Structure 1
Amino acid sequence: MNNRADFLDISQVTVAFGRSRVPVLNGIELKIARGEYVSVIGHSGCGKSTLLNVVAGLLPASGGGVVLDGKEVDGPGPDRAVVFQNHSLLPWLTCYENVKLAVDQTLSRAMGRAERHAWTLENLALVRMAQAKDKRPGEISGGMKQRIGIARALAMKPKVLLLDEPFGALDALTRAHLQDQVMQIHAGLGTTVMMITHDVDEAVLLSDRIVMLTNGPNARIGEILEVDLPRPRDRLALAADPRFVAARASVLEFLHHRHTAPGLAAA
């Protein structure tokens, strides 16, 4: 990908909590291009979600910083929308109202009332949830709740969509359907995506690059894998594709055998 420095630039990000002398993350350096889909993977406790929270502006870095489209990230903002593993929908609002609330909060100056209504419906349709717009979260399945969470995030017109293990709590079939839907949305909108995941197959299927973190604490980027698979991608066709198999094997090999930070292998 070209012009990685021109869009999302994560520069020497270090995060330490309390008085600990050992940081959770140490010197994370990553540049993401506009429209690129990047997954971050690693063992539990390596700081994947911590890194995403820094990019989201929910957590300050102890050192280094993040620049998005030429502007330094110094707190939460509508240019970065987050979808968590827990859908975080407001239970007393309908699906339509959950999405519309985000639209009203972020786009009221750019759109009139009728436009915001139409935009809300358009994003519900994008995730195939228009038929459930009047239902409340307690009346729909977990997968449907995640669709609403994705619709709400996309409706904010963010520059970057941040996904924190968004499919981790779902059954395998629902997860596969949502992965396919996210691929379609990414292809159609060209959205820049940074996704945290622990699922190797998911990372290879969805990503342009996979960033592998070493074990924490003091986690660093151990390796970055370019995923050389053409788009659009078909999961069934890819299952036997030697490029998919090789990429999957490369990530697994790192996670199982080379997950220690360079220079610390003998520690």
Structure 2
Amino acid sequence: MKHRSYLALEGIGVTFPTPKGPFTALRDIELSIEKGEFVALIGHSGCGKSTLLNIVAGLVKPSRGVVFLDGEVVDKPGPDRAVIFQDHSLLPWLTVEENVRLAVDKVMGGKSRAERRDWVLHNLELVKMAHAAAKRPGELSGGMKQRVGIARAISMSPRVLLMDEPFGALDALTRASLQDSVMAIQAELNNTVVMITHDVDEAVLLADRVVMMTNGPAATIGEDLSVKLPRPRNRIEMADTPDYNHARHEILHFLHQRYSNPVDKAA
């Protein structure tokens, strides 16, 4: 019997019906992710990255293939897979604490109110937002809202954390601060993380592996690059290392030489 990784995508394909006939978005996706790994998905717009993430989340059913998590088939959403989108999706009429407590109540219903509150505040402390527990989203900056979104996701103790360009709408300084926070949280919790990004430097800084996707339609995995950089990682120190620059070069070569942007080609 073959070894199956903690998170295994086997033979995944997605075909959508359209008025012009079937449209194949993804084909022949084979991806094995071990427990505690941080994997970044990168590729041009339209290559199916979000569709792939949504399949792991159980929000989209593949036309072919199966997703296994710890040996069990994934075919519907569940609290064992928390998703962080670019839009934090906080409820504006609730406080920060109440927004996180919504998630905690779903997974810790058997715990006392005091225990759940302690857990909410613990997770807000992990993202450095405990001081804002009584504030409402309208009183927070974009970066602070995204920190609360991360706290809400990790408070569910998910087996896999799925992140769809979580820092894409933030300014460079806020983005760098949140990247550092995510690295610190992952080091502490040893989450299995799958993150979509368009940012090559972000992928190399955060990930153990960078999975590069070919252009759509019928996109698939073009290359799977292991990032051999020690942790903890410091962005300033790493920027001058041969391993960092090698990984960065490999990804840029893939994206801009082997698979340039199809929009640019059309132009």
Q: TM-score range by the shorter chain?
A: over 0.9
Q: Is the 8 A contact 1:127 1:148 kept in 2?
A: yes
Corresponding position of 1:265: none
2:55, 2:103 → 1: CA distance? 21
How far apart are residue 242 of structure 1 and its match? Answer: 1.1
The SS at the match of 1:23 is strand
Corresponding position of 1:238: 238
**Unmatched tracts of structure 1, length 5 or more:** 261-267
Inter-CA distance 9–184: structure 2 relative to 1 (3 Å threshold): same
Matched residues, percent identical? 62
How far apart are residue 4 of structure 1 and its match? Answer: 7.7
Corresponding position of 1:191: 191
TM-score by length of 1: 0.94
How far apart are residue 113 of structure 1 and its match? Answer: 1.7
Corresponding position of 2:65: 64
2:154, 2:171 → 1: CA distance? 23
The SS at the match of 2:11 is strand
Q: Is the 8 A contact 2:28 2:220 kept in 1?
A: yes
The one-letter amino acid paired with 1:101 is L
**Unmatched tracts of structure 2, length 5 or more:** 261-267
**Higher mean C-alpha displacement, 19-28 vs 126-135:** 19-28
1:13, 1:108 → 2: CA distance? 35
The one-letter amino acid paired with 2:229 is L
1:165, 1:217 → 2: CA distance? 21
TM-score by length of 2: 0.94
Q: Is the 8 A contact 2:91 2:99 kept in 1?
A: yes
The one-letter amino acid paired with 2:89 is S
Q: Is the 8 A contact 1:81 1:161 kept in 2?
A: yes
Corresponding position of 2:6: 7
The SS at the match of 1:5 is coil
How far apart are residue 259 of structure 1 and its match? Answer: 2.1
The SS at the match of 1:24 is strand
How far apart are residue 122 of structure 1 and its match? Answer: 0.1
How far apart are residue 61 of structure 1 and its match? Answer: 0.5
Counterparts of 1:70-219 in structure 2, within 5 Å, are: 70-109=71-110, 111-219=111-219
Corresponding position of 2:30: 29
Inter-CA distance 197–96: structure 2 relative to 1 (3 Å threshold): same
1:234, 1:242 → 2: CA distance? 14
Q: Is the 8 A contact 2:4 2:71 kept in 1?
A: no
Q: Is the 8 A contact 1:4 1:34 kept in 2?
A: no
The SS at the match of 1:12 is strand
Q: Is the 8 A contact 1:12 1:27 kept in 2?
A: yes
Pairwise CA RMSD of aligned residues? 1.2
Give every structure 1 segment of 4 or more consecutive aligned residues whose post-TM-superposition deviation is greater than 4 Å: none
Q: Are 1:17 and 2:16 an aligned pair?
A: yes
1:39, 1:237 → 2: CA distance? 21
Corresponding position of 1:263: none
Q: Is the 8 A contact 2:38 2:207 kept in 1?
A: yes
